[in-house]
Amino acid sequence: MGNYRTIFCICCGITLLAFCGEAGADPGTIMGPIESPLNGHQYYLLNSGLTWTQAEAEAQSMNAHLVTIRSMAENQWIFQTFDGANKELWIGLHEVGAEGNFVWSSGEPVVFTNWGPGEPNNMGGWGNEDSVHMRWPGAVPSGLQGTWNDYPDSAKGDTIYFYGVVEVVPEPVSLSLMLLPATVLLRKRQNRIRRKLHLV
């Protein structure tokens, strides 16, 4: 009887652990991590229904930001990787302060843009257009796909909901970590010398 009780308790424990593990998973992402061959950074796609501000907050909770795009090659990779299933994508560009002052939420300098014709035009019907998205494959007229548009901080675009793209930039290896093997060797040598001196 005691054995059955023990087995029952173990099974309950395993079930509880599995449940806790599942609850700990991030329910906000629907794709990723996907590593870009262009820069080695990891990318995720957030679930739909988030405004730009909410998507950036979700990215920051992952110790990251909405995606920063530095070249046309990166723009095309993001478009092809995440727009493939007809999605409107939030990117990390947004307007701060004066009209027209667009900055990346990551803090990186703006070295590349891919605005659509006439954009940014700040023509939101529901308020200022201060958040930037990449146009989806279904965008009309043809030719706008993959271009950028400023838009109100809304969960839904003209036709479909937005999905945020999150970029995780790997932490640079710190100098102390790079010097760690040399430090360990030096300490070992010092200890050897101390032991020898002690024997003498």
Q: How far is the CB of 52 from Ca ion (least distance, A)?
A: 12
User: Which of positions 84-103 make contact with Ca ion (CB under 5 A)?
Assistant: 95
Cβ proximity to Ca ion: between 74 and 130 the closer is: 130
Interface residues for Ca ion in 144-163 (CB under 5 A)? 149-150
68 binds Ca ion (CB under 5 A): no
- Give the Cβ contact number of residue 122 at 10 Å: 15
Number of H helices, E strands in the chain: 5, 8
Which residues on neighbouring strands pair with residue 148, listed in sequence order?
A: 115, 134
CB of 131 to Ca ion, least distance (A): 9
Name the DSSP class of 50: -
- Nearest distance, CB of residue 92 and Ca ion, angstroms: 16
List binders of Ca ion among 108-137 (CB under 5 A): 121-122, 128-130
Residue among 3, 5, 60, 6 nearest 28 (CA): 60
**Residue that the structure tokens 């590593």 belong to:** 35
- The radius of gyration computed from the CA coordinates of the chain, to the nearest angstrom, equals 25
Q: Site residues (CB under 5 A) for Ca ion?
A: 95, 121-122, 128-130, 149-150
